[in-house]
Structure 1
Amino acid sequence: MLGPEVVDLTELPGVECPCGVARRAFAEREDFPGTVHWTQIQCDAKTHYHREHTEVYVVLECGEDAAIELNGRLHPVRPMTSVLIPPGTRHRAVGEMNVMIVCLPKFDPQDEHFD
């Protein structure tokens, strides 16, 4: 078992994703089953889904009109809103927001699917 680890998400490289720019932590940890992502969403994201991943979004900051679209239905969000997104759920962020995402199992870009 590996020891504890502290990661400054602001120092991780940003990676373009369907939602904006993600900074992902703990992908290399064999003793942790998931990844943690700080994602900055600058505009409406592309609708996508995952066959294997479950995601939990925690909204840190967002505009007044921000929402999460789940299977075609808009759900308004505000800071400290948490959203559970099971596999197969078509989803996207609408509006600008900063979110923390916990992804289980570990994020795999091959598990991003678009209709």
Structure 2
Amino acid sequence: MDQHPTAQLVDLRSLPAVDCPCGEARRAFYDRGDFPATVHLTSIHTDARVHYHRRQTEVYVVLRCQSDAAIELDGQRMPLREGSAVLIPPGVRHRAIGEMEVIIFCTPKFDPADEFFDVPSPRTTPNSL
């Protein structure tokens, strides 16, 4: 008999927040072997650090943002507004600019070892440079 995966409802706002280069992320679906991605509710309070991924593709969906919010992709700044979606392939240096709340779809699943920075941070990061 064919077994279907179990559906799952997650309240993203109830998940624990973790620091990330963008601000604070609440990440869901790490534990789902039958789902090839993670979904993050991310609050960006100030300009994010420029970073990139070698394997992961991200899609940012803007839920809420300031009128002057933007995203920087490989040094090119583009304005954002609520409802914007941004596809960020591996290797693209990126950062969010301004305060905003976004949903990030990350495939394959988010892996902190696939987060790289060209400029060292004031705090220690294992994948800097």
TM, length-normalised to structure 2: 0.88
2:65 equivalent to 1:62: yes
Choose from 14, 35, 51 the match for 2:54.
51
Identity of aligned residues (%): 63
Query: 3-state DSSP class of the match of 2:113?
Result: helix
TM-superposed deviation, 1:2: 2.8
1:15 equivalent to 2:18? Answer yes
Gaps of 5+ in 2: 119-129
Unaligned residue ranges in structure 1 (runs of 5+): none
Paired residues in the alignment total: 115
4+ runs of 1 displaced by more than 2 Å?
Answer: none
Give the letter for the 1:46 counterpart.
R
Work out the CA distance in 1 between the residues paired with 2:7 and 2:18.
25
* Matching residue's letter, 2:32: R
Matched, 1:94 2:120: no
| Equivalent of 1:2 in 1, 5, 29 | 5
Task: Say which of 84, 106, 109 aligns to 1:81.
Answer: 84
Match of 1:40?
43
- Partner-residue secondary structure (3-state), 1:24: strand
- The one of the two structures with greater contact order (alpha-carbon pairs below 8 A, sep at least 6) is 1
Q: CA RMSD in A?
A: 0.6
1:103 to 95, 106, 128: 106
Q: Which residue of 1 aligns with 2:124?
A: none
Task: Select the residue among 21, 25, 29 that pairs with 2:28.
Answer: 25
Q: Comparing both structures, which one devotes a greater share of its residues to strand?
A: 1
